[in-house]
Every structure is written in structure tokens, then in C-alpha cells.
Amino acid sequence: MRKTRSKPMPSGGNDSPGYRTDVGEVLSHLLLSRPDVVPGKMFGFPAFYTAGKLFACVYGDGVGLKLPQDTARRLEGKPGITPFQPYGKPTMREWIHIRRDPASNFSKDASLFEASITFVGKAAADGRGPRGSKRPARPALK
């Protein structure tokens, strides 16, 4: 059964997409056994960081995942995968939104999560912030 929880947007609006707590639980089990992954928040929703940089967040009925842009574009349109557009903003070029039901099916995407951790970790090690800038990464919230 799907479990969801909604929190208002930071501006106090009521149009938050909420998130599925079952997705958060599955991802926590899948990812938090790794020493290079720490939990945090994004948009007030459960998120996962590596090397102080966000690589995945539970959002709406799925998870936003950061990957190299060419990989993200290649995956779009596959079953359950769309561009990531949090709060209806423009498509994020290195992000996809993955939806799986039941949430346990996210375990089949382990290679995508691994690719994301590697990609984001390498960008952090290279000192790249958003869009390739040299801005340092923000630390994850605890």
C-alpha cells in the first residue's frame, strides 16, 4: 500500500507534491549501508548526499536522481522515468525522476544509484559545484 506524507512548500503554499514514505524507507535501506552516503533533506523531503553533494531525493511519487546529462536524457521515456521538474520548474538537465510501484522495485535500479554516487562524488572531488562551477559543495544536513 502506498504511504504518502505532504509538507507545505517553504513559502507556505499548499501545493507540495509530498513524498512516499515507503520510497524513503526502501532507499534508506538500499543506500545508507554505504559509508560514502549520508541522509539529509531537500525541499524538506528525504535526500541522500555523497561527498557533501546531493545525488538523490524522495519527491512526489518517486525519486529525483542526478546522473550525467547524456545518461539522464537517454533514460527519459523508459518505463517510470521522466525529466525531474520539482515544483513545476524547468527540467533539470542532469536529473531524472524515477517512479516505481511497489517501492521495493527501486532495488532493481541499484546500478543507477551507483552511477549517481560515482558521478556526484567525482564532481565533488574535482571541486565542481552546480553547472561545473568551482563553488564548493554544501554539506549535507544531519
Residue 56 lies in a domain: yes
Count of the separate structural domains present in the chain: 1
| Averaged confidence pLDDT in the chain | 86
| Residue 142: pLDDT over 70 | no
Instruction: Compute the distance between CA of residue 1 and CA of residue 34 in angstroms, rounded to an integer.
Output: 28
Residue 142 lies in a domain: no
pTM for this prediction = 0.81
Residue 21 lies in a domain: yes
Backbone φ/ψ region at 112: left (φ over 0), alpha (ψ -120 to 50), beta: alpha
Task: Give the CATH number, domain containing residue 60.
Answer: 3.90.1150.30
Residue 132 lies in a domain: no
**Looking at residues 70-77, what average pLDDT do you find?**
97
CA distances to 14, 54, 73 from 11, in Å: 9, 22, 31
Predicted local distance difference test score (pLDDT) of residue 76: 96
Residue 136 lies in a domain: no
In this structure, what C-alpha cell is assigned to residue 57? 531525493
Residue 7 lies in a domain: no
Q: Which domain holds residue 88?
A: 15-126
